[in-house]
Amino acid sequence: MSPSLSEKPMPDLLTGQKSKTDVDPLTDPNFQTVGESWVNNPSMTCRDVNVFYSDKQAIADVSLDIGRNEVIAMIGPSGCGKSTFLRCLNRMNDTIDICRVEGEITLEGKNIYDKEMDIVFLRARVGMVFQKPNPFPKSLYDNVAYGVRLHGLANNKSELDDIVESSLKKAGLWREVSDRLDKPGTGLSGGQQQRLCIARAIAIRPEVILMDEPCSALDPIATAVIEELIDDLRQQYSICIVTHSMQQAARVSQRTAYFHLGKLIEIGSTSDMFTNPTHPLTEGYITGRFG
């Protein structure tokens, strides 16, 4: 066994600082992700993805598949590129001027970075839920109806009513709000607001839902409700969740991807990774030696 990783100086992909030790997967050009990156019949595929902010590299050579009806958790120390990678999946990084994405990412076999890709449509197919619930300053009804109207997904008021109701039901919020749909979304509790944002994402019938630390602003009870919801949603969607909580990753995901300084170190079944991590960096993180 190599010396404790926490005592080893870590190379920094972003500053380019070299490790003082000679064995280091992060600077080794031949480093390969440990574990099974591929699934049968994936919903999305990512191949050799590199992301730069100006000349600083934030993601290096990441390849993985996202399966259907699975929750895949992205974990790793703060600043390792989890949010950056997640944002590649629906081209949210396009909104950051200095950000450049290389590599190939497909959704149902089509490269989402192709010139012909309609980005507004892509973001409907690959929805996103953020860390801090961000309901629009509109009624509950209009929050959920917003994207449906934008994309012309309902032909009349009664269809729209149905979509709003079914989305709120799927998000586990209908019972709590059905009698006050005309009230502002911002008046709900934090946990309810986050479920409203999930309802808003679901209403436009996405195929994949991205969640970036969706519970980190919530109390434990609201967190438990969202985690249960994520498990229900898996029956219909592929879900990629970034979490800084290993317990949460263990509770909600079937596969886990461990990132470290922009590299995908290890990927595989969540139960295997948490009980028997293969790579020493994964082990170090999971056993709490750093993070």
Ligand X SMILES: Nc1ncnc2c1ncn2[C@@H]1O[C@H](COP(=O)(O)OP(=O)(O)O)[C@@H](O)[C@H]1O
Interface with Mg ion (CB under 5 A): 83
Q: For residue 229, which phi and psi values (nearest 5 degrees)?
A: -60, -45
Say whether 133 sits in a helix, a strand or coil.
coil
Kindly state the smallest distance separating residue 263's Cβ from ligand X, in Å.
12
**CB-nearer residue toward ligand X: 80 or 107:** 80
Q: How many residues bind ligand X (CB under 6 A)?
A: 13
What gap in Å lies between CA 128 and CA 130, rounded to an integer?
A: 6
The tokens describing 8, both together, are 């080893």
Say how many C-beta atoms besides its own lie within 10 A of residue 148's C-beta: 20
Site for ligand X in 69-98 (CB under 6 A): 76, 78-84, 96, 98
Kindly state the smallest distance separating residue 189's Cβ from ligand X, in Å.
26
What gap in Å lies between CA 104 and CA 269, rounded to an integer?
A: 24
The reply to whether 17 sits near ligand X by the rule CB under 6 A is no
The reply to whether 62 sits near ligand X by the rule CB under 6 A is no
Q: Which does 79 bind (CB under 5 to 8 A by kind): ligand X, Mg ion, none?
A: ligand X
Q: Which does 197 bind (CB under 5 to 8 A by kind): ligand X, Mg ion, none?
A: none
What gap in Å lies between CA 115 and CA 118, rounded to an integer?
A: 8
Q: Which does 40 bind (CB under 5 to 8 A by kind): ligand X, Mg ion, none?
A: none
Q: How far is residue 104 from each of residues 44, 82, 121, measured CA to CA in Å?
A: 10, 17, 18
Measured CA angle at 72 (ends 96, 62), to 5 deg? 55
**CB-nearer residue toward Mg ion: 27 or 90:** 90
- DSSP H or E segment with residue 195: helix 190-203
Kindly state the smallest distance separating residue 117's Cβ from ligand X, in Å.
22
Binder of ligand X out of 14, 122, 154, 224 (CB under 6 A) = 14
Say whether 245 sits in a helix, a strand or coil.
coil
Q: Which does 80 bind (CB under 5 to 8 A by kind): Mg ion, ligand X, none?
A: ligand X
Do residues 155 and 147 make contact, with C-beta atoms less than 8 angstroms apart? no
Do residues 263 and 78 make contact, with C-beta atoms less than 8 angstroms apart? no
Binder of ligand X out of 21, 31, 47, 53 (CB under 6 A) = 53
Q: How many residues in the chain? A: 291
The reply to whether 58 sits near ligand X by the rule CB under 6 A is yes
Residue nearest to Mg ion (CB): 83
> Where on the chain is the footprint of ligand X (CB under 6 A)?
14, 53, 58, 76, 78-84, 96, 98
